[in-house]
Amino acid sequence: MCLMTKVRALVETDLPAIAGIYAHYVTGTVTTFDETPPGLDDWRAKAAGITEAGLPFLVAETDGQVAGYAYVSQYRPKAAYRHTLEDTIYLAPGRTGKGLGRLLLGELIDRAARTEARQIVAVIADSGDPASARLHEKFGFEPSGRLKAVGFKHGRWVDTVLMQLDLKS
């Protein structure tokens, strides 16, 4: 069976699948520092805010099912950060290692470069799995720092690694 994958803009009917994917990471990993999965209304509000800001919120669809998603949002809420974005990418359980992250991040960067943004920052929880950092490195993100023991989840302290991509160089 040949799997067909496409990357496209988010539609409202994707939100339950996105909520489910994220809930997996919230409850079972330290990849995100959220401790309670956001509800569907929270996801609606987040998606609306991102798209109203003119920023991409993308979905990887494989054979009609949401296999992952990615978006950029403003890095910090203060006005001076308005040209700096933070990227977010999550893949459905069982969909990692198949090139979906590469497809999503490539398209996300292309679309973010068409905005007024200058930088994209990746804030990566150091869970011991280097896959996210390696993916970002393949697209030119460079390490820009480490914040030690800034998150406490599932009984352990977790660092975050900061990586940065200059969109205008």
**pTM of the full predicted structure?**
0.95
Q: What is the pLDDT of residues 127-148, one digit of tens each?
A: 888 999 999 999 999 999 999 9
pLDDT tens profile 59-102: 999 999 999 999 999 999 999 999 999 999 999 999 999 999 99
Structural domains in the chain, sorted by start: 5-166 (3.40.630.30)
Residue 113 contacts by C-beta under 8 Å, 6 or more apart in sequence? Answer: 167
Are the CB atoms for 141 and 165 separated by under 8 Å?
Answer: yes
Q: What are phi and psi of 40, to 5 degrees?
A: -60, -40
